């Protein structure tokens, strides 16, 4: 026996309520509660509702471990972010702003897999087959192993999967797919959750690597319930600004690799092109001999990246000065300014401070602290730093400079781009040999770093 039950579900966080509310108690969003119809199945006994399985518990020492096979594409940046290639049977969720290039990336990846004799099925729920063909012609990504279908009905999509039996499946996008048995509109929480569950069973059961494209909210998070990110194996965010040609592919969850890697692409007329030397890209427009500009050697996963940090300190016209940071944590900026004022004697109480990481990169490692402090002091004193200096190091609350990891990779990247001097923690000088053409200055305190950088 079955009974229909009406409930109201938040389209942002998945919060359920028996009555409509203007404001969601879960995520505090307004006008996101949508009515949905739920079918409740009544069973005669407790045992009839339990899903039976033939598998029995096995001691973990008796389970054979083998490395996961991976399929490599000709895109090194994508392979890096995924942890070394695409794992068969994995479920990947890709999110990004509208028009950022998600469909272009996946269509190029699909074509690259066909070059490795992989059969690909591309399901488009937002574009017609002819529109997909036009994009493929522009990207020069046509192949006899690339199948395209414009469909949003889940049952018909499953029939196409049974007929073609692809090695790689793309769903663009998951918010357009609906299950006919669920009485709710496509894109609602119930539909997205149920359709994702179906694709997860297909991916694991048939060993098909599946990519789901997800819409994002105005805050930048993937639309739908948070459970969606827990169900998949890998969550990728495709980021970038419309006014810049480069794009960043970042992993926030990866069961088969690290989440610290980023892939950098440049959007050109013929599609996305991978950037082999991102440091040169980020420093291409750097002004020389300007106060407040410092180059930091940061690590993004296993890749060293040189990025410019710009600071602007000016006298405020308001009772409380402003602290604005783009690319690093705002609280970290306040902490570094407090250290400069307390330990270095810089009077910053009546100064507005604006900090920007050039290129739109987000830096979250503590090794950028010393570069931030030197940029703020340089702008405050109006003394430019040397144009061929690279700085990195962590700052403590007592004004000391703490050691960081992977020193040799940071210094080699700086040497490759023509920098001549490195200001770094003295505690990190042991255990490695610096290049002969580089001048290495080890510092123990922020005061020593400021004296070396601004002298």
- Binding-site residues for ATP sit at 96-103
CA nearest to 34, candidates 56, 16, 60, 53: 16
Range 370-393 burial, b when 16+ CB lie within 10 A, else e: bbbbbbbbbbbeeebbbeebbbbb
Q: What is the DSSP string of 282-343?
A: HTTT--SS-TTEEEEEEEETTEEEEEEEEEEEEE-SSSS--EEEESS-HHHHHHHHHHHHHH
- Asked if 195 and 154 touch (Cβ cutoff 8 Å), the reply is yes
CA 23 to the chain's CA centroid: 29
What are 313's two structure tokens?
Answer: 């300190």
Closest alpha carbon to 146 in 176, 174, 107: 107
Tokens of 187: 């894109």
Alpha-carbon separation of residue 205 from 72, 93, 147 (angstroms)? 22, 18, 21
Give alpha helix (H) positions in 298-455: 330-343, 369-381, 407-416, 446-453
Residue identified by tokens 């023509």 is 418
Give me the count of residues in the chain.
Answer: 455
Query: Residue positions in the annotated binding site?
Result: 96-103
| Count of Cβ atoms closer than 10 Å to residue 314 Cβ | 13
Q: Are 225 and 193 in contact (CB under 8 A)?
A: yes
Beta strands in 112-260 (DSSP E): 120-124, 146-149, 168-172, 209-214, 234-240, 246-254
């Amino acid at each position: 026996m079955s009974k229909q039950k009406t409930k109201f579900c938040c389209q942002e966080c998945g919060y359920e309520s028996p009555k409509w509310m203007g404001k969601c108690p879960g995520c505090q969003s307004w006008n996101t509660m949508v009515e949905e119809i739920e079918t409740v199945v009544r069973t005669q006994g407790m045992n009839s509702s339990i899903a039976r399985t033939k598998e029995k518990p096995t001691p973990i020492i008796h389970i054979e471990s083998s490395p996961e096979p991976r399929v490599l594409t000709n895109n090194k940046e994508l392979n890096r972010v995924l942890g070394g290639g695409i794992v068969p049977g994995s479920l990947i969720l890709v999110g990004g702003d509208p028009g950022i290039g998600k469909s272009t990336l996946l269509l190029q990846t699909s074509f690259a897999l066909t070059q490795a004799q992989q059969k690909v099925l591309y399901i488009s729920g937002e574009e017609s087959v002819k529109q997909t063909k036009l994009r493929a012609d522009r990207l020069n990504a046509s192949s006899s192993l690339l199948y395209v279908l414009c469909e949003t009905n889940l049952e018909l999509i499953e029939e196409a999967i049974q007929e073609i039996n692809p090695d790689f499946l793309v769903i663009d996008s998951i918010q357009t797919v609906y299950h006919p048995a669920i009485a709710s509109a496509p894109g609602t929480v119930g539909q997205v959750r149920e359709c994702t569950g179906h694709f997860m069973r297909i991916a694991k059961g048939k060993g098909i690597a599946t990519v789901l494209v997800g819409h994002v909210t105005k805050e930048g998070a993937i639309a739908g319930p948070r459970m969606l990110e827990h169900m998949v194996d890998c969550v990728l965010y495709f980021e970038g600004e419309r006014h810049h040609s480069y794009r960043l592919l970042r992993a926030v969850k990866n069961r088969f690799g690290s989440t610290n890697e980023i892939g950098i692409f440049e959007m050109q007329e013929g599609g996305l092109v991978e950037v082999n030397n991102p440091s040169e890209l980020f420093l291409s427009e750097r002004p020389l001999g300007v106060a407040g500009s410092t180059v930091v050697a940061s690590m993004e996963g296993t890749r060293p990246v040189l990025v410019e940090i710009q600071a602007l300190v000016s006298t405020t016209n308001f009772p409380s000065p402003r602290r604005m940071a783009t690319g690093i944590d705002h609280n970290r900026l306040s902490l570094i300014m407090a250290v400069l004022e307390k330990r270095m004697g810089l009077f910053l109480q009546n100064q507005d401070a604006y900090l920007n990481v050039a290129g739109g990169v987000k830096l979250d490692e503590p090794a950028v602290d010393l570069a931030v402090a030197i940029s703020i002091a340089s702008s405050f004193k109006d003394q430019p730093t040397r144009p061929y200096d690279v700085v990195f190091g962590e700052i403590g609350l007592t004004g000391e400079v703490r050691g960081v990891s992977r020193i040799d990779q940071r210094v080699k990247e700086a040497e490759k781009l023509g920098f001549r001097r490195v200001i770094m923690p003295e505690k990190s000088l042991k255990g490695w040999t610096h290049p002969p053409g580089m001048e290495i200055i080890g510092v123990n305190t922020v005061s020593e770093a400021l004296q070396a950088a601004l002298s």
